[in-house]
Amino acid sequence: MLPPENVSVPDLVRETGIPKDTLYTWRSQYRNKQGPLSGSGRSSGQLNNEDKLAIIIETAPLGEFELGQYCRRKGLYPEQIAGWKRTFIQNESTATSKAERKQFRQQSRTIKALQSELSRKEKALAEAAALLVLEKKLQALLEDREDEKSTSRSAKK
């Protein structure tokens, strides 16, 4: 049932007379306990991410038949390779979304800081404008007083 022979369960049932449920149970127990062996002698659980990525790249152009042959040679299952591919895609999208979230948080902080600075400057500008208006009013009042004094001096002469 396992690589490199990969005899199907129905064929084994015909050959041996062992019930198919028993064969399926044995196969799943063996897979859970041992795992298939790769061509390097390491179990697929021991393959590092580089090896898995190399296998994904190597098998990407293969058709179903060629993929089956490749898997038998390496002691792998097509489902494993598909699972690795899904994992890489999910991890990539997760990493991207993490980077996007980090960038979004940074942009939010920058926007908040800029809004605070803008608010502070608007208040300072409003205060400066109020001081200018008050200064002009004071100058106008002082000029009016000087005009009154000069008119009253002229009238006294």
Q: What is the pLDDT, as a whole number, of residue 37?
A: 42
Q: Average pLDDT for consecutive 10-residue bins of the chain (157 residues)?
A: 74 89 84 52 65 89 89 89 88 73 91 95 96 95 83 68
Question: Does one domain contain both 148 and 121?
Answer: yes
Selection from 16, 17, 23 nearest residue 1 by Cα: 23
Q: Is 48 in the same domain as 105?
A: yes
Looking at residue 26, its pLDDT comes to 86
Instruction: Please name the residues in contact with 1: beta carbons below 8 A apart, sequence gap of 6 or more.
Output: 7, 8, 9, 12, 23, 26, 27
What is the reported pLDDT for 28?
Answer: 80
First to last CA, the chain: 130
Do 21 and 57 lie in a common domain?
A: no
pTM above 0.85, yes or no: no
What is the DSSP secondary-structure string of 67-96?
HHHHHHHHT--HHHHHHHHHHHHHHHHHHH
Tell me, yes or no, whether 9 and 57 share the same domain.
no
Neighbours of 55 (CB within 10 A): 21
pLDDT computed for residue 4 by the predictor: 58
Note the pLDDT of residue 95.
Answer: 66
- For the chain, what is the domain count? 2
The pLDDT assigned to 126 comes to 96
Are 97 and 153 in a shared domain? Answer: yes
pLDDT of residue 108: 93
Same domain, 90 and 148: yes
Residues 47 and 94 grouped into a single domain: yes
Contact by Cβ (8 Å): 75, 36: yes
Note down the domain range covering 141.
41-157
Question: Closest by alpha carbon to 78, among 91, 63, 88, 100?
Answer: 63
Nearest to 30 by CA among 99, 77, 88: 77
Q: What are phi and psi of 37, to 5 degrees?
A: -95, 135
C-alpha gyration radius of the chain: 41
